């Protein structure tokens, strides 16, 4: 690494936040094995084999059956948000919940929650059942309130969304402040408990950017702390 790059790295507050996250993970380790032992691995492998046989060209669902890889990623997510160090059980709503690994990790850290995702691929629902998790099957749609059914067990302490696609980031018209604002207001007004937090980790768009400068500024005005370009924490949401 050139010395100019080294100096920039030392001067970047993100480097210190990254070191601090590493320290917290080292002080509160969460080995994958602790979570893996709660998974019926033969049943998960059988599900994987069945869905692999039905895979269309270009699909790669089989990766979701590699439990240790997904557990590791989601344990790290939980640690970054501090879910592993919460002093009481939390209720977590995960939007675009996929195969449910984040909620599974939350569950085995003592928390409860609910997922939300579209009906396809079907195996997401089957993995949810295997993991003993609950979800509502419905799309997140711009300018449409989220389904009431999410509130079956009550409101939430934490709303998360990781690597989501519902914001149409890959299209010519990714969500802007108006669409995000509608979702944030809906979450605040109907789903968040007092003191509740929101954490989003966005995917990059067609231009490899995670958000436009306008959207970044909008999120900041709504109270977001933005970390590593893509990660937004609203604590609290304004
Ligand atoms: C890249 S995957 C991420 C899954 C999961 N959050 C994770 O990080 O492992 C994107 C997820 O968004 C879901 N998704 C796509 N469009 C959606 C929509 N309109 N509403 C809700 N979920 C959607 C997909 O089905 C998929 O589960």
- Cα 97 to middle of ligand 1, angstroms: 6
Q: Answer whether residue 169 shows pLDDT above 90.
A: no
Regarding pTM above 0.85, the answer is yes
Alpha-carbon span 220 to 238, nearest angstrom: 9
Please tell me if the CB atom of residue 164 comes closer than 6 angstroms to any atom of ligand 1: yes
Average pLDDT for the chain: 93
CB atoms within 10 A of CB 25: 15
Question: Residue 160 — pLDDT band, cuts 50, 70, 90?
Answer: very high
**Top mutation candidate among 147, 165, 168 for ligand 1, by most atoms within 8 Å of CB:** 165
Q: Are 160 and 92 in contact (CB under 8 A)?
A: yes
How much is the average pLDDT of 181-202?
A: 98
pLDDT digits over 11-52, tens only?
A: 776 678 778 888 888 988 999 999 999 999 999 999 999 988
Q: Which CATH superfamily is domain 31-234 in?
A: Vaccinia Virus protein VP39 (3.40.50.150)
Cβ within 8 Å of residue 210, ≥6 positions away: 202, 203, 204, 229, 230
Residue 68 has pLDDT above 80, yes or no: yes
- Going by alpha carbons, the residue nearest to atom 9 of ligand 1 is 98
| Residue of 71, 96, 125 to test ligand 1 pocket, by largest number of atoms within 8 Å of CB | 96
pLDDT for res 70: 98
What's the 160 CA to ligand 1 centre distance in angstroms? Answer: 12
List, in sequence order, every residue forming a beta bridge with 95; answer none if it has no partner: 116, 161
Across the range 195-212, mean pLDDT stands at 94
User: DSSP strand E in the chain: where?
Assistant: 91-95, 112-117, 135-137, 156-162, 192-201, 225-227, 231-234
Q: How far apart are CA 52 and CA 59, in angstroms?
A: 9
Residue 140 in contact with ligand 1 by CB distance below 6 A:
yes
Of the pLDDT bands very low, low, confident and very high (cuts 50, 70, 90), residue 1 is low
Torsion of CA 142, 143, 148, 151, to 10 degrees: 70
């Amino acid at each position: 690494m050139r010395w100019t790059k080294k100096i920039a790295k030392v001067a970047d507050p993100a480097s210190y936040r990254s070191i601090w996250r590493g320290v917290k993970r080292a002080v509160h380790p969460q080995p994958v094995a602790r979570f893996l032992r709660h998974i019926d691995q033969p049943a998960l492998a059988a599900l994987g084999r069945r869905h692999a046989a039905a895979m269309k060209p270009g699909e790669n669902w089989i990766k979701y059956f590699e439990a240790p890889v997904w557990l590791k990623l989601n344990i790290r997510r939980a640690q970054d948000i501090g879910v592993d160090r919460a002093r009481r059980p939390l209720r977590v709503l995960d939007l675009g919940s996929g195969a449910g690994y984040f909620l599974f990790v939350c569950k085995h850290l003592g928390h409860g929650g609910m997922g939300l995702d579209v009906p396809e691929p079907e195996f997401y629902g089957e993995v949810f059942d295997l993991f003993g998790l609950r979800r509502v099957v419905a799309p997140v749609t711009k300018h449409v309130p989220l389904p009431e059914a999410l509130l079956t067990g009550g409101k939430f302490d934490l709303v998360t969304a990781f690597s989501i696609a519902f914001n149409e980031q890959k299209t010519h018209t990714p969500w802007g402040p108006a669409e995000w604002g509608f979702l944030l207001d809906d979450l605040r007004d109907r789903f968040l408990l007092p003191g509740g937090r929101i954490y989003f980790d966005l995917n990059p768009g067609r231009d490899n950017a995670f958000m436009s400068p306008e959207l970044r500024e909008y999120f900041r005005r709504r109270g977001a702390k933005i970390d590593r370009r893509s990660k937004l924490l609203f604590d609290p949401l304004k």
